Amino acid sequence: MAPLVPSQDEQQRRRIIDINAETVTNIPSTDFPGHWPGESHAWAVDQFKNTFQVDFHRNDPLEASFSLIGLDAAVANAFRRILMAEIPTLAIESVFVHNNTSVIQDEVLAQRLGLVPLKGSVEGLNWMHWFRKPGEDEDGSNASEPSDFNTVILRLDVECTKNPEADENEQDPRKLYNNAHVYAKDMTFHAVGRQESYFVDEGAIRPVHPEILLAKMRPGQKIDVEMHCNKGIGADHAKFSPVATATYRLLPDIKILRPIIGDDAKKFAKCFPKGVIGLEPVTAQEAGRGGSGYEGHAGEQKAVVQDPFKDTVSRECLRYDEFQGKVKLGRVRDHFIFNVESTGQFDSDVLFLEAVKVMKLKCARWKRGLNDLMA
Amino acid sequence: MSREAYQVPSMGAQNAFGTDAGFGGAMAVDNPSVVYLCGECSARVPLKRGDQIRCKDCGHRVLYKERTKRMVQFEAR
């Protein structure tokens, strides 16, 4: 027997998560074998290829926004989690303090330095390997030696002095003294070995934001530290996370079930962010049709859904009696609007591709494990 | 050997108490001056063994040791 195919209406109903005044219903996806009697829902790669879509809304180096349409929440969520926690990046890991007479304590300064986002030649960053640290109860025999392919050296050597050219009535410590504020741009990169060919000129390792304030000093105070940067992942420490935020939301869905006309339409539009609901005049044709709800309202303004993408799903419109039963809010279950904000080490669109790469590697590992199980 | 390993202070090293009798003769051979920081004016005050503990600029009697020259390692976490 050929599998049953649900009607178009039913398929559409299953795609929408209902957002009611106080509840959210129809949440879990049901497109898997065995849920609907007689229907197949077997996953097929060809069908997925045909229905899956990617739309870019915005693609800047530091922020990308795009829609993934036609995949399951589990997969979308896996990409989001990989983006945050499993893409390797370079960050300061060890700080060697030679001298620090500033008021900020060594360990606090070290922690601050670790959180500074770095950037450099992407080719060089991909060339770099992990640095394996000795474990708690190991003798260090399988720990890495710091080398050109796993450690980047930065130095910060600043001393605060009086500025002899400052005006005598000057109150601003930045003009009164030299190096009163220590910024991320004061860190200097020292290439070692093959790093000299990878991290040159524009590709040199440097902070993404040069104006990050690291410490404040007064004349006579000094900071002299050497920093070793290693590769790591966000699961280990947040400083290794390549994204500032990586989020997704489902595309909002607004259905106007019965006409909203005149002043009500204006009030309805105000319940939503600008641009979500538009006003259009009722046409003579609509007004002429019996039972449409538009009879005798030709030329008046009616509310139409213009762009549900901009909606925040505040449910404000569900609070008013006049819209009761006239509107249905929802979200499209398989339309994920991703927003990826990079910290600057990689471009934001590249990050998503990296996440896909990591996912593939994880799947390959899982498959290998299954094969070993069968052997 | 790691840079942080403990080093036994040599005999010629400075002693915190200037009036330590008995070793005086042996110490006089090399009598290095140690720099301290004045608690009042932050001036650098080099002191030798037996010197009066007093800032040469402002006469303040509280002096502090300088920070160790030893490197200290921290994890940036």
Chain-chain contact of B76 with A110 (C-beta, under 8 angstroms): yes
Q: How many CB pairs under 8 A join A and B?
A: 44
Question: Are the C-beta atoms of residues A208 and A117 closer than 8 Å to each other?
Answer: yes
Residue type present at position A235: A
Separation in Å, CA of A94 to nearest CA in chain B: 5
Taking CB atoms and an 8 Å cutoff, what residues of chain B touch A232? none
Give the total residue count for chain A. Answer: 375
User: What's the pLDDT at B22?
Assistant: 43
pLDDT of residue B11: 53
pLDDT tens profile A114-135: 999 999 999 999 999 999 888 7
- CB distance A313 to A252 below 8 Å: yes
Between A202-216, A290-304, A313-327, A352-366, the lowest mean confidence (pLDDT) is in A290-304
Q: Where are the domains of chain A?
A: 11-29+56-87+327-375, 89-241, 258-325
**Residue listed under structure tokens 């008995």:** B22
Q: Residues, chain B, total? A: 77
* Helix, strand, coil share (%) of chain B residues, nearest 5: 5, 20, 75
The CATH topology of domain A258-325 is Gyrase A; domain 2 (3.30.1360)
Task: Please give the average per-residue pLDDT across B27-50, as a whole number.
Answer: 83
Tell me the pLDDT band of A292, cut-offs 50, 70 and 90: confident
Nearest-CA distance A99 → chain B (Å): 7
Alpha-helical runs (H) found in A30-93 = 45-51, 73-85
Reported confidence tier of residue A144, pLDDT bands at 50, 70, 90: confident
Give the residue ranges of DSSP H helices in chain A. Answer: 8-15, 45-51, 73-85, 106-114, 122-127, 173-176, 195-198, 263-270, 284-288, 348-374
Indicate whether A196 pLDDT > 80. Answer: yes
pLDDT digits (tens, 9 = 90+) for A1-49: 788 999 999 999 999 999 999 999 999 999 999 999 999 999 999 999 9
Q: What pLDDT, on the 0 to 100 scale, is given for residue A137?
A: 77
Q: What's the distance, Cα to Cα, between the start and end of chain B in Å?
A: 26
Instruction: Give the span between the Cα atoms of A81 and A77, in whole angstroms.
Output: 6
* pLDDT given at position B17: 46
Q: Between B46 and B29, name the one with better pLDDT.
A: B46
- At residue B23, the pLDDT reads 45
DSSP state of A346: S
Q: In the predicted model, what is the mean pLDDT of chain A? A: 94
Do the Cβ atoms of B67 and A111 come within 8 Å? no
- How crowded is the C-beta side of A339, counted as CA atoms within 13 Å? 7
Class of domain A89-241: mainly beta
Q: Give the pLDDT mean for A64-72.
A: 96
Interchain contact, A94 vs B72, CB within 8 Å: no
Angle at the Cα of A109 from the Cα atoms of A108 and A110, rounded to 5 degrees = 90
| pLDDT of residue B25 exceeding 50 | no
pLDDT at site B15: 47
Say whether B76 and A113 touch across the interface (CB within 8 A): yes
Q: What is the 3-state secondary structure (H, E, C) of A252-286?
A: EEEEECCCCECHHHHHHHHCCCCCCEEEEECCHHH
- DSSP designation for A247: E
Delimit the domains of chain B by residue range: 33-77
Chain B residue numbers touching A114 (CB-CB < 8 A) = 75-77
Sign of CA dihedral B56, B57, B62, B63: negative
Smallest CA–CA distance from B73 into chain A, residue: A96
Same fold, A11-29+56-87+327-375 and A258-325: yes
CATH number of the structural domain B33-77: 2.20.28.30
Contact assignment for A237 to B77 by CB distance below 8 Å: yes
- Minimal C-alpha gap between B17 and chain A (Å): 25
A244 closest CA partner among A341, A354, A142: A341
Nearest CA in chain B to A105: B74
- Helix, strand and coil percent figures for chain A, each rounded to 5: 30, 30, 40
Interface probe with B: pick from A102, A104, A107, A133, most Cβ of B within 10 Å: A107
- What is the CATH superfamily name and number for domain A11-29+56-87+327-375? RNA polymerase, RBP11-like subunit (3.30.1360.10)
**CA separation, residue A228 to residues A148, A188, A189, A344 (Å):** 11, 12, 10, 19
Distance from CA of A108 to the nearest CA of B (A): 9
